Every structure is written in C-alpha cells, then in structure tokens.
Structure 1
Amino acid sequence: MDIQELRRMEAQFQEILGRELKKLARHKTIDVVVGIPFYNEKETLAQVVTTAVQGLSPFLNVKPFIVCVGDPAGSEALASLEGLKLEVPHMEFLMPEGVNGRGFSIRAILEIARELAADVVLLEADLRRKGDQGFKPSWLERLYFPLLHDYDLISGCFRRHYFEDPTGSLFVGPMLETFFGLKLRDPLSGVYGISRRLVEDYCTDLDWWYGGAGGFGVDTWLLTQAVVWNKKICEVSLGAKIGPPGLSKRSYVFKQVARSLFHCIKANEDYWLKSQLILKQPDLYGLEERDRAPEFICSLEDIIAGFTLGFDQYSSLMSHVLPEKAYEVVERVAADPRPDFRFSAELWTVVIHHFLQAYVFDDSLKAEDIMEGLRILYDGRIAAFIADVD
C-alpha cells in the first residue's frame, strides 16, 4: 500500500470520525464507553445493547455511553436499534467502504472514548444467551470493575469446547508466550476492558491501523502492544459463549490474525530480542464462571479435504518456504490422509518458524500467498488435533 493510498484512507476515516465527534458536545461527562463493533448481526445486536445497559446499572455514580460502529453491510443491524428505549446516551453509525472492518470500527470507538476521556468496555455483536448460560449483565461488571483498580487491559476468557477456537489455542496463544511472554487462556475472546490511559496510547499509534489491525487482526495488536508498553493486564472468566463461529469464518479470520501477529513480531523485535523468557500469567479477577462449554460439531473429513486440495495448489510455495525434510513430511501426509491423521505439534512449530521468516525476509513472495499457504497447513494441524482428541 503506497503513501497516497494511506493518506486517502486516513482522510476518509477522519471525515467520518469528525462528523461523529461533533455530536459529543452534550456528552462531556462520560466515565465509560461501551463499544460494540458489528457487521450485520441484526438478530443479536439490540439484545447485546440492552443487556449492556442492564449490566452497568449497579454502578450508580458511573455515566456510561453506548457506541455501536458497523460495517457498510450493517444497515439491517443498525435498523434493529431504532425504537430502543435506553436509559443511557448512545450513538450508532456505519463506517464507509475502504476503512471498514472490525479493527476500524474499534478504532472509531477508541477515538470517541479518547475525546470523552473515558474508559472502554468492548463487546461483540453476536453475544447470545440461552437459559442461564451465555451473555449476562454481570459480564459488564467483570470487565469494568478491574479498571477502577488501576488495571489497563482486561481480557475476557470463555469456557470453550476443544475445537471451538483452535486459532487461539494452537497459534496465537503459543506465539504470544514465545515472543511476548504473555500467557492467556483465551487470547481471542474479543471482549475487553481498556483504561483511558491505554485508549490514549492506542489512538496515538496510528501506523498500526494500516498494518493489519484494521480487520480481525486488531485483537492480537491490542494484546501485544499492551505487553510492549508494560501495561497492567488481567483476565476475567465469563463462562460459556453461545454460538461459536463457523469453520468458513475461521479460515478468513485466521489469515488476518496471522498477518497481524507476524507484523507485530516484526515491528517489535527490539522488545522480544531483549526479553528474558519470563512468562507473565495475568491476574485473574473474580471466581471462575462454571458454565458448560457448548457442543461444537465439525467435519474432520472436510478439513482434511481442504488441506489436501490446498497443498496441491500451493505445494511450490511450501517447498520454497519449508526445509526439505519438513516439506517431505507434509507432502507425505497430504498424499495419504489416513483416519489416524498425523500432523505433529513439532512439525507445526517448524512450519510457523519458516513462514514467519518468509514473511519478514523473503521479498520474492506475496504476503497474501504466504498467509494462504500457512492457512492450508493450519488446516492440517487442526485435522491432526481433532483426530488426536477424538
């Protein structure tokens, strides 16, 4: 992306942001912004908003402000908020094409909180409740209360099925531990509490928003920068999350997350090269919610088929990136995907190491091709993980 394109995108973002900031004149005494980035979750967004309002009602001296920022495709979700009778001030709008996505929606929320000098609680628009499990008003207290005790970043933690979030458990979690010394139980929960001090830092570091943080990669950026800036981090247990994402979305999200994480590692080499390999286990606020993880059904055959087909299409790239012995193992596995599918953790470690090197140093390869090749091999690792657990 050239400098002219970056300037055009930033001007577009500032135009929409400036329009919305003008509406804040009558809301100058806000303590916490509850931000909800959305795509077009028309069935759940309104309930998320009303539950959030209920959750903050016990804080009698806290003045909340609800901000919902959506994708251009979110007109129906936006319409679902019309007619809601909320007892707190609120704002909702859509981002334009070119500066849209989860990351840019979150950036807009953070900029609004910065203008108001407020803390932030970030939620997701697809949070659901089923009986006594799932999204509850008490989640707001758990995410907000630690901010009153000088924590800067509160990361939510869900009780998940083994197969629900392999990107977090098999990729992001180990990479955060290895390079940033941060051990989180659920690194991609997507829900956070953020202090006004950290909000200011996030908004000041503009370059990142065009380096992979504009989409789903924003989560890894939020976490890694909090570590690099030596912020005070804690986790809160929130129980089960109802309605986990499908496999099709998982593949799309993985590539954005992987690219952002690789970018964070590359940009912060001065930090992790000087680290002393000390793992930081964040404080855990409150008792653990004992919800039961929801069932999660996936097709091992479909994942294996995707891996073998993808290998056929990207075998030349893989032979270029991987050392000879590792490539031979991958080739053998792809050629004979037996029921006892084997793609070991050791092989996955070698894959990540060499694809990270290729991303940082190999200018002969396109970043998108590197991410797609890694995504295919990630399917192989997931298939092996499912086969081992089953």
Structure 2
Amino acid sequence: MGSTRHAAQTETDKIFVEQFFGPGKGNGIKTSLLIAREVGASAYAMVDGDLVSVQPEWIDLLINPLYKDFDLVVPYYHRAKYDGVITNQLAYPLTRALYGVEVRQPIGGEFGMSRKLFLKLLTHPLFPGTFGIDIFITTVSACEGMHIVEADLGVKVHESTKKYTNPEETLVPMIRQVVGMMFELSKYYRDKIEAISVAESEPRTIERISPPGEQVKKPSDVAADKDALISAFKEKYHAKATYDKVPMSDELREKLDRITEEEQAAFRFPSDLWAKIVYDFAIAYNTDKEVLDTLSILLQGRFASFVVETESLTNEEAEKIVKDQVQLFEQYRSLLFAKTGIGIAFQKLYLQKLEEKYGNTLQIKRVERIGDDSMVQAFNALFNKNRGVDKIKKNITCDLEFS
C-alpha cells in the first residue's frame, strides 16, 4: 500500500507511507484508516500534524477508552477565549443544536476510534478529503449511535493558532471546507435532526476522563485586535460585488448594513442574528462556494463582535457567552425547516405531542405542510409553555386547520 520506509528503531514501530488520493487532511486520514483496516487494528488514534504540545499520556487517553466499550474519544482542551474561532461560532453550537450531543471540541483534531467506528467511516458516502474530516468524524459518531467520551488533554498549542489574527490566510479556507461539510451532513442526517428537534430533550452529556497527576490547564493568550477585525469585516462586506446567490432577504441586508455603518465603539453583531443567518445559509447551501464565501465574511463580523463583548472577561467568563450563543442555536433550530417544510415523520411527532398535551381541547383536522415562520414560532411557544392555546391558534395562519 504505497511506498514505506522505517524510522530509527524505537519501542513502537513506525511506518511512513505516501498519501493516497491526493492532498488534503481528510485524504491523509483515509490513507491511515485503510492501513489500519488492512493490518487488523482494533483501535486507532490521530493527532494534528502542527501540534507543539502533544504529551505521551495523550495517546493513552485517546486509546484506552476504546477497550472499555467506547467508539470515539474526542478531545477536551483548556483554550484561550480567542482560540477556536470556527469551533466557538459554528461547529460547537451547530453540533449541540442539531445532533443533541454536548461535544465541546467537535473539530479538535485529536481522536481515538474503535474499529467499529473507522470501518463505518470508510464506507460513508460523504467521507471528505479536506479539513472537513474532523466534523465528519464527530457528526457520524453522534448520528450512528456510537459511544462517545471526552479526554481532557489540557492545553493544546498548534502553529495555526498564531494565524487567527489573519483570517484570510487560515480561517477562510478552513471555513469553506469545514462548514461545507457541516451543511452537507445536516442534509444527509435531516431525519435525525428532525427527531432530536421534536423530542426537545436535554443534550446528551459526555463522560470526561482526565490523566492522573497535575496537568497544565492555563492556556497562553491568543491576541485579537478588535479594531482591525471590525475594519476588515466592514471592508469585505462592502467590497463584495453581489449577494444575489446567497439567502439575504432585504430585512437581513438592512440589519447587516446598519451593523457595518456603526462606529467602531458601537459595533455589535448579535448572537441571535448570527444563529438565524447560519440556518438560512445551511438551507441555501448546495455545494455552492458563493454561500460559504459570504458566510466566511459574516463569521469574521461575528468573531469581531465576540472580541468586543469579551475583551474585559476571563476565559471562563467568555465561555458563558459561548454557551449562551449555543442556547440561541437550539432555540432557532426549527428555522432549518422553515423554508423547506418539515418532514412527514416530524409532523406526526408534533401532532402526537399536541394530543398528549391538550387532548380534546385542541383537535387538528389536517396538516399539509409546516414551513411558515409564524407557525414554527407558535409550535416552539407551545412546547416552551409561554403562550396560551388561543394565541397559538391566532398565530398559526396557514397549512393547519383547527376543529
């Protein structure tokens, strides 16, 4: 399987192999997984190639749980508040909101996998050749019933962290690949998302394991120049020639225009607006680079606002802002179905919940399609218990008939 050469003799054998399928992180992982399959490996661990903080105990933490009935070991890091831009603003909130699993670092780069899991990944039709591989591993595991555990790896330091202040160099290419994969997976696992949405249960908590003894848990600060970030966002937003191919309503454009016209000191890009934008773009995405490029510009605006919101906060205090944003992604999750309609299975589950809750006081004769924003809001209000039945009847104006 490709050309190999052996390194100097060590306690553990090393094999070097030329990457199959061309360049790309995902292709590199696929190459090693195929080798793991061929040699009959029962467990597999991977770490990012640009790590400068890897410790020997990391391998134990990534591998040992796989012999205790776990299928995926995901990393947990103690990170600076401005590290993990894509994770904090997109990957973490979407993973928790859509798939109901509390994985704090879904694109961490360090994973342990059981043979059951990596064989499943190798046969999956969406296996990516790019940076999308990390979110692919986490999402497939969450949706395919794999047992997941977090490993506390302490502080992660990698070369790419130093480049976050230049989003054009590092973040934008990653956004195209990571977010494109996230959106494709959300369409592939739509039925799973619908079931999670209607169940409205608490996110599945993940056990976390830690190494014995002391561990470094205070990360170095990651610099972020708020004025430079705001200026760069405004410039890119206004420089974009057209927004014709992206889901930008007149109302949304007006809100964004107002944001970009604010003075630096008053700049804010609210979390609730960001969550709604992400769901609109997820619906519109169809392997369209234009959608991802536009979202990458807006992500830079949201990150700039996050820096403004948290500049005086500790890492722990900034984490609360991240968690609050996750709740907004959960709150607006039903927008993912607002323009495309909610599936038949989803409709039946909603009707069942209505009957269980109200019995004969609220009888529904027919449901043709659930897709209007006012209807989505009304159903959410019903299950959040903050509106009465009469008000719900008044707000639902299409597709549903009450007796």
* TM, length-normalised to structure 2: 0.70
Instruction: Report the equivalent of 1:218.
Output: 133
1:121 alignment partner, SS class: strand
Aligned length: 299
Cα shift readout 1:238-276 (whole Å, capped 9, x = no counterpart): 011123521231222122111000000011112111222
Offset of 1:99 from its aligned partner?
Answer: 2.5
1:1-390 matches, cutoff 5 A? 18-19=1-2, 84-95=8-19, 99-118=22-41, 119-128=43-52, 134-205=53-124, 207-209=125-127, 213-243=128-158, 245=160, 246-247=163-164, 248-275=169-196, 276-278=199-201, 279-286=203-210, 289-314=215-240, 316-317=242-243, 321-360=247-286, 367-390=288-311
Which segment drifts farther, 331-340 or 138-147? 331-340
Instruction: Specify the code of the residue in structure 1 equivalent to 2:126.
Output: W
Q: Structure 2 vs 1, CA of residues 83 and 95 (structure 1 numbering), >3 Å: closer, same or farther?
A: closer
Offset of 1:234 from its aligned partner?
Answer: 0.5
- Preserved contact between residue 164 and residue 244 of structure 1 (Cα < 8 Å): no
Offset of 1:93 from its aligned partner?
Answer: 2.7
Offset of 1:290 from its aligned partner?
Answer: 4.5
- Preserved contact between residue 318 and residue 327 of structure 1 (Cα < 8 Å): no
Q: Structure 2 vs 1, CA of residues 194 and 367 (structure 1 numbering), >3 Å: closer, same or farther?
A: same
1:135 alignment partner, SS class: coil
2:266 alignment partner, SS class: coil
- Preserved contact between residue 154 and residue 192 of structure 1 (Cα < 8 Å): yes
Q: Structure 2 vs 1, CA of residues 337 and 369 (structure 1 numbering), >3 Å: closer, same or farther?
A: farther
- Preserved contact between residue 246 and residue 294 of structure 2 (Cα < 8 Å): no
- Preserved contact between residue 245 and residue 290 of structure 2 (Cα < 8 Å): no
Q: Which runs of 5+ in 1 are unaligned?
A: 1-17, 24-80, 129-133, 361-365
Q: Structure 2 vs 1, CA of residues 300 and 319 (structure 1 numbering), >3 Å: closer, same or farther?
A: farther
1:215 alignment partner, SS class: coil
- Preserved contact between residue 304 and residue 337 of structure 1 (Cα < 8 Å): no
Q: Structure 2 vs 1, CA of residues 84 and 308 (structure 1 numbering), >3 Å: closer, same or farther?
A: farther
User: C-alpha separation between the residues in 2 aligned to 1:307 and 1:82?
Assistant: 48
User: C-alpha separation between the residues in 1 aligned to 2:245 and 2:72?
Assistant: 41
Percent identity (aligned): 22
Q: Structure 2 vs 1, CA of residues 304 and 290 (structure 1 numbering), >3 Å: closer, same or farther?
A: same
- Preserved contact between residue 246 and residue 281 of structure 2 (Cα < 8 Å): no
User: Considering only CA atoms, is the larger Rg found in Structure 1 or Structure 2?
Assistant: 2
Cα shift readout 1:94-149 (whole Å, capped 9, x = no counterpart): 336x6221000001111111112211011112221xxxxx3211111111110110
Cα shift readout 1:338-371 (whole Å, capped 9, x = no counterpart): 12320000110111011112115xxxxx711110
Instruction: Specify the code of the residue in structure 2 equivalent to 1:317.
Output: Y
- Preserved contact between residue 156 and residue 236 of structure 1 (Cα < 8 Å): yes
Q: Structure 2 vs 1, CA of residues 217 and 160 (structure 1 numbering), >3 Å: closer, same or farther?
A: same
2:265 alignment partner, SS class: coil
Instruction: Specify the code of the residue in structure 1 equivalent to 2:155.
Output: A
* TM, length-normalised to structure 1: 0.72
Q: Structure 2 vs 1, CA of residues 266 and 189 (structure 1 numbering), >3 Å: closer, same or farther?
A: same
Q: Structure 2 vs 1, CA of residues 319 and 260 (structure 1 numbering), >3 Å: closer, same or farther?
A: closer
- Preserved contact between residue 306 and residue 376 of structure 1 (Cα < 8 Å): no
CA-based RMSD of the aligned residues comes to: 2.1
Q: Structure 2 vs 1, CA of residues 291 and 171 (structure 1 numbering), >3 Å: closer, same or farther?
A: same
Instruction: Specify the code of the residue in structure 1 equivalent to 2:133.
Output: V
